[in-house]
Amino acid sequence: MIYKRSDGKILMRLDKGEEICESLMRVAEDENISAAAVSGIGAADEIETGVYNLTENKYDRFVFTGNHEITSLSGTLSRKDAQPYQHLHINLADKSGNIVGGHLFRAIISLTCEIVIDIIDIEAERRYNPEIGINQLVL
């Protein structure tokens, strides 16, 4: 992973074998990011996503293998218990152009990935909300 920061923005590149979520957490920690918007594109071949099950208050998880184009990566960075926290969604296209996606848990890069982190100059944190079963953004 390489990245550069300029005027509240970070441009980063991940290479084959690197994992998106781990890399973003490292940058958020190293750069002391408390709030940011994330967007990106690229390609991955080991991906785990989820869709939140409102009845059971948990994620139904899905694993995808084989090369997929990352047609959209978006989300936020914040803090929970003073540690970096990410909430990311991803859309992917397979070799036939079929689209899958959801909440991103894990994605290993198969070729390259380009990510922009747009730092927001506010304090944002996550707190668990038992009524809805998730770590909700608190501003």
Q: What are the sequence ranges of the domains in the chain?
A: 2-138
Whole-prediction pTM: 0.95
Q: Is the pLDDT of residue 77 over 90?
A: yes
Please state the separation of Cα 59 from the chain's center in Å: 15
More confident of the two residues 132 and 45: 45
Highest CATH level, class, for 2-138: alpha beta
Q: What is the pLDDT of residue 132?
A: 87
Find the mean pLDDT for residues 10-36.
Answer: 98
Task: Return the C-alpha torsion angle 78, 67, 60, 133, nearest 10.
Answer: 0
15 token code pair: 């290479």
Q: Label residue 43 by pLDDT band (50, 70, 90).
A: very high
Q: Which has the closest alpha carbon to 82: 29, 21, 5?
A: 29
pLDDT of residue 133 exceeding 90: no
Q: Residue 66 and residue 25: Cα distance in Å, rounded? A: 25
